[in-house]
Structure 1
């Protein structure tokens, strides 16, 4: 693994990927294999008992996926990482060692609509609960934490409204409660934000978005800081108590900073099966090579388009914390000095009908349920990604009926503005 002695741009190209020792191949090979031959019976037994690190079966580990895990852990400043099949899978994989029936998490009320649904509906089937709070109200966050709370969850920059979370403030609350802070860093990427340096315990990503950057992959990852003391209380028995499936192994005692990562592979991937495929890992590795080139252009273009929209009389408001008018502008400058990414929303005069009509009249923007592509994308969240939420939840998460979400790509910003101009004319 590379170290912080090298710059971010260098590590984005080199971390986790030395030349292939078998062939000398410079690019990471796609190890398209299900299983791996053991040297002998003892070798096989040691691998299954976690006494030796190696490859057993590609539901658990794969060399191509392993290279991606090493690179992302390096870029995020974590002890280890576990890749999986999607961002939603990463959220469940992150919670799995922490939770149990009757336990709960505290989460921001400004999350992606699919995450709100996963936390408010789907996790109930596991017997888990979630309390949604405004993270700008520290007392409300503290009040929501009880003896059964096992984590706080937020997004570094929220989807869809681009709200920048005060991660250090929330991390302090989590530390005082003796629970981990989990940060979804999908929109910022480690280029714009490194949550672990701000106090986060775990970082999750939808690799589908900016990390890959070209709309070809569905994937997720959980990065562990390696800094949390899982044995400090009896709240996390999956990591601190003897594990029956491994002859009483105590993950934290035996594996220290790598306890959560090994649990994610040995228990999480083994039993939940949310595996990332090696070809997807290969595409994401190649995408990360250009992350440091793409993100500044996303930021620059989004800022220019947001400023133009804010000045347009056909627009009611623009939610972009890079704008001086944003209530979160000072926070964004303080915590996200490189910018707040390429995703933001704006509201139209004319409400729901105008928003839908604008989306239908854009030519250069692609109308898709995705973000973080090199291409510029658009969607009306209230009728799509957030349609399953109540009207109150939609508004709280920044996806009201008159709101359009833009994911600004790396094209010429003037061309994007021209496309928005003609679509606004058609919508109004």
Structure 2
């Protein structure tokens, strides 16, 4: 043990250097007093002499720049009665709590693994399609573990929210309450961002960062961020009720006037359609043309004006039992996805969204290149194949004359 068997090293810079080096090693090694650590001998004036005492050497390491500190020897040296009689771990704990960083990391990994398993289990019970699998995959490291940027609590909230979507005009707070039992679950933190990332994959678009884009993306899942901005335009939409909004809709239908309904208006009272069929289009030009040419004789038509909003879903959720919905969109990838979801959600019938209608409308001089992620058309597989081959999108406006025939 050498002649340095006394407590005079306690509180010296030399001992502080050894203790700091030992703490770093222990905290990264499950707090096991084993192995060694390199110590720079110029870190304190008499460090070489102290190291000689700890290592049991009678000669000082005057020419060496560094030396290996054996943790077991250091523990025994500290535990000797003449050196205070307190071992390495207790000496370090007297100064500050020891952190078992390996254990902490392992516990975090376990928590993240359980969170990922819980998310997969919950989402496996829903019928959303492969976009949810792609979303979960985007959150993983290369080794398949949950990425460091993903907070466990945020993932749990986001997963619960996705499991209850789509909604029918519910507000963010209502969705949060429905999914998590907490109206503030989507008011802050990383959960809203994770949900929007998932919805962006669903729609095949980049995640928006501006307020309008965020609102519109929420509305694709039937969630209302702003009940006054969310709207749907209707024509010939006659209803059986007699409250003020119902009367406005009926009067507009009789006059052949396209009529905008906000989500706020739709929630004021039921709007139960009287027609047996409702036609749904994507572009406002279709409903405008129907208003000009057919007026009050037009069939009931609903215009989503792009991605279906919370107002669209709320209106259609209140449809009369047995109503047949005929749905169409642009002949592009987004249009195929929206039509496919409508067929699933509303048991809708494709409205001139078939191979023949596409080929009749296709004109390379008046079409545009297809953009975004490709989609399928399960109701008519050859449609998607033809679109792949041509690489061209056909906007709905090209089909207006045929659509008007169906509405008359």
Q: TM-score range by the shorter chain?
A: under 0.3
Larger radius of gyration: 2
Q: Which has the higher helix share?
A: 2
Tell me: higher relative CO, structure 1 or 2? Use CA pairs within 8 A at least 6 residues apart.
Answer: 1
- TM-score (normalizing by structure 2): 0.24
